Amino acid sequence: MMTRPMDPKDELKRDLGEQPIAELLTRLGLKPADLVDASPDQITHKMVARACKGRRLTPKVQAKVLKACQIAANETFQHGDLFNYDSKS
């Protein structure tokens, strides 16, 4: 079975640029490891890194990262505080 080459336009849809979570973690003095350690759900350093870099995450992973961030910072955040893209786009 032949696979067709990836269209560069498809790559742009998945790579959405640095997200607000990256600046938020810096401002709060948190590292990805802090989120991984604080999370009651299973998340990985790679999930947090992908969130910061702007790789599109599933809504389920976004929710896990949001929850971990809230616990690690002991603050309440909304989806838009961490991500500047809609999970459906």
pLDDT at residue 61 in the model: 95
Question: How much is the pTM?
Answer: 0.79
What is the rounded CA–CA span in Å between residue 38 and residue 15? 26
Kindly report, residue by residue over 64-75, the tens digit of the pLDDT.
999 999 999 999
Pick the CATH number of 15-82 from 1.10.260, 1.10.3430, 1.10.3470, 1.10.10: 1.10.260
What is the rounded CA–CA span in Å between residue 16 and residue 57? 10
